[in-house]
Amino acid sequence: MFFFQDVKWMLMTKYIAPTAAISAIYSAWYGWGKTENHVKIKSIDEAVEFLNHNKETPEALRYISNFDFDRQPRYLKKLSIRSLGILAGVGSEIVRQARVHQCKREDDDFLFQNALSKFDLGPSWKRGVDWLHRSPCLDEDLSCEDWQVWRPTQVERLQRLLQILFIETENQFSPDTVDIYVVDFLFNVFKLFDGDTPEIARLTLRILANVALNGQEYAERIFSTEWLQILGNLVTRGETLEERLIAHKICRNALHTLDSVPYKLPSDVYELHISQGEPVVDIVLIHGLCGSVLYTWRQKDDRTKLISECWPKDWLPLDINDSMRILGVNYPSYLLHSSGAVDSLPQRAERFVKQLSSAGIGSRPVVFICHSMGGLLAKKMLLDSEELRKNTVGVLFIATPHRGSPIAEWGDYNFPFTPSEDVRFLHSKNQQNEKLNQDFGTISKEIPVIASMIETKESDLIATAKGIIVPTESAVFGSGVLYHIDEVHHNVCKPSERTSPTYGVVLNFVRDSIAAAKKRNPSKEIKKAEPQKFNESTVQNDSEEIEPIDH
């Protein structure tokens, strides 16, 4: 049973509940154990036994979720650490009753110098730790003697150290460098800053998602301490989409380490939805310049209506009969040149090919939905990876600048700033982008379904200036169906309703891609989800005008 914290959550059940609550317990375990011939579980002993041995997991979860542990708490003790992790991963209330170990506390929760010093990340790390505690006061406040309060400069320094720790834990690390205590340390930081400084609290969650992949000892420590109950709450009841997605990732990665999930979720990949049954396709969302998996795919803002934080996650499972998995990738990008290290488009493509492979992308047909520069990134990935290309059945380009953007050329006019490498890549005469478009044209016939959405409304630019960011001549790839959408650039990927023309285009595209996937595997038995029915509107394949059609 799932509970909502306030009226806002109750209102959101119209879109959220079918995918994040009702089906969450049963849908996330496809391919785990032998579930082809379901065994009817007759007792709590059988259910616990099956779950502990990763057999008949959906059936065991059904039984356990309806069992009254208050009356017979002894069965809680029989659940393995891995089983408790599975229950946390679906947001089960049962984990609140589980007995867990307390994370080790520092003598002084306000000073982390001793804790940070336990991690051996080299001389620069040690200097950073010393720098963190050089002065607890504001730099200009020389009279300050209060060592029990975190000052702004200290919070900034701690955040930078945590960013270093995040980077160091993205790859496998030695326990001699970052020992098991990191799990407890991250818990203490999370509890201290959750609420007051959410960016630090969420950064600790991202680090924990990395740490969960570093071996059995780390994964079991996460599920045997107070983290278990925090994660079980955040997975379905986190205040933000980011909290829910990262908590899900932590559980998935820890369960992968414990041999319960066949794939992992690297630092830049987020799993947004997974249907019941073996997915027919994997849908990958790629945002554009200055975008994010956390807000690019929001429902179009409208104060009079409920806003979905991620419409592909919330709506597609309701309207597509076939099982699917939806993932999103995230990467930083900027308009202006930054002194920090930022990957180029080819570097991002190389990294994402590896990360998506680790996340299981390529084991079944793949569908890409890309906004703006995300389409260029998808083209580069498909060019670089023959394995990914041969498994791709559909690409939807949403206002993708195949031939650049005139807005990117504003930097040619002696403005007092330097455009970023991403902006320079979008220059209409950029040779790298020209070559990318030409090369992709030679292999595009291998992809059965290609569609393009074109913005037709001018966007607000600088001061009173307006303009089309990606004009038609750049947004048209050269093959596949075209849709002209009456929206500005940043809203062309944000439908306002499930009945809106924009969403109808996406729905038709996904259905066509799934049909193409089935043609490639006609003998494969397809397990279908059971979406909630509604009176849908579809859209004609017309390059000039989009009109809803009532069935």
Residue 164 has pLDDT above 70, yes or no: yes
- Closest by Cα among 325, 297, 300 to 310: 297
Q: In percent, how much of the chain has pLDDT > 90?
A: 57
**Of 114-128, 280-294, 318-332, 447-461, which range is least confident?**
114-128
Distance CA 264, CA 356 (A): 9
Q: Is the pLDDT of residue 449 over 90?
A: yes
Helix (H) or strand (E) holding 247: helix 241-257
As a whole-number percent, the residues of the chain with pLDDT over 70 amount to: 77
Ramachandran region, residue 33 (left: φ > 0; alpha: ψ -120 to 50; beta: rest): left
Mean pLDDT computed over 262-286:
94
* Residue 520 phi, psi (nearest 5): -75, -25
> DSSP 3-state assignment of 42?
coil
Q: How many residues in the chain?
A: 551
* Each residue's pLDDT tens digit, 410-420: 655 555 567 77
Q: What is the C-alpha to C-alpha distance for residues 62 and 537, in angstroms, rounded to an integer? A: 34
Looking at residue 471, what is its pLDDT? 92
CA–CA dist 548, 311 (Å, integer): 19
Instruction: Please say whether the beta carbons of 328 and 285 come within 8 A.
Output: yes
Write the DSSP assignment of 151-199 as a string of letters. -HHHHHHHHHHHHHHHHHTSS---TTTS-THHHHHHHHHHHHHTTTSHH
Residue 535 · residue 551 · CB < 8 Å: yes
From CA 488, how far away is CA 382, in angstroms rounded? 28
More reliable by pLDDT, 234 or 421: 234
Q: Return the H-helix or E-strand segment holding 422.
A: helix 421-425
Distance between CA 221 and CA 204 in Å, rounded? 16
Distances (CA, A) of 302 to 101, 310, 502: 45, 14, 16
* Mean pLDDT across 115-135: 68
Contact 382/389 with Cβ under 8 angstroms?
Answer: yes
What pLDDT digit, counting tens, does each position of 192-216 carry? 889 888 999 999 999 999 999 999 9
Instruction: Note the pLDDT of residue 429.
Output: 85
H or E stretch including 466?
strand 466-467
The mean pLDDT of 68-87, rounded to a whole number, is 91
Over residues 20-49, the mean pLDDT reads: 61
What's the CA gap between 114 and 107, in Å, rounded?
A: 10
Q: How far is CA 496 from the centre of its chain?
A: 22
Q: Where is 117: in which H helix or E strand?
A: helix 113-117
User: Beta-carbon neighbour count of residue 79 at 10 Å?
Assistant: 21
Please state the rounded mean pLDDT for residues 387-407: 94
pLDDT of residue 161: 85
Cα radius of gyration rounded to whole Å, the chain:
25
Looking at residue 154, its pLDDT comes to: 72
Structure tokens at 436: 């990318």
User: Is 80 exceeded by the pLDDT of residue 538?
Assistant: no
Give the pair of three-digit tokens for residue 223: 């599920």
**Could you tell me which residues are beta bridge partners of residue 539?**
548
Q: What is the pLDDT of residue 551?
A: 31
Question: Which H/E stretch holds residue 82?
Answer: helix 81-89
First to last CA, the chain: 35
**Interatomic CA distance for residues 213 and 265, integer angstroms:** 9
In DSSP terms, 449 is beta-bridged to 394
516: confidence class by pLDDT, cuts 50, 70, 90: very high
What sign has the CA pseudo-torsion 261, 266, 272, 278? negative
Count of C-beta atoms within a 10 Å radius of residue 423: 23
Contact 216, 258 (CB under 8 A): yes
Model confidence pLDDT, tens digit, residues 422-434: 888 888 888 999 9
Q: Which two tokens stand for residue 195?
A: 């609420």
Q: Which residues have CB under 8 Å from 490's CB, separation 6+?
A: 459
431-443 and 373-384 are packed helices; what angle lies between their axes, rounded to 10 degrees? 60
- The string of DSSP letters for 469-502 reads SS-HHHH--SSSEEEEESS-GGGTT--SSTTSHH
Tens digits of residue pLDDT in 352-366 = 999 999 999 998 999
Which helix (H) or strand (E) is 519 found in, with range?
A: helix 501-520
pTM of the model: 0.85
- Give the residue carrying structure tokens 């992809």: 447
Residue 268 vs residues 264, 291, 356, 372, 387: alpha-carbon distances, Å: 11, 13, 9, 18, 20
Q: Between these two residues, 277 and 166, which has the higher pLDDT value?
A: 166
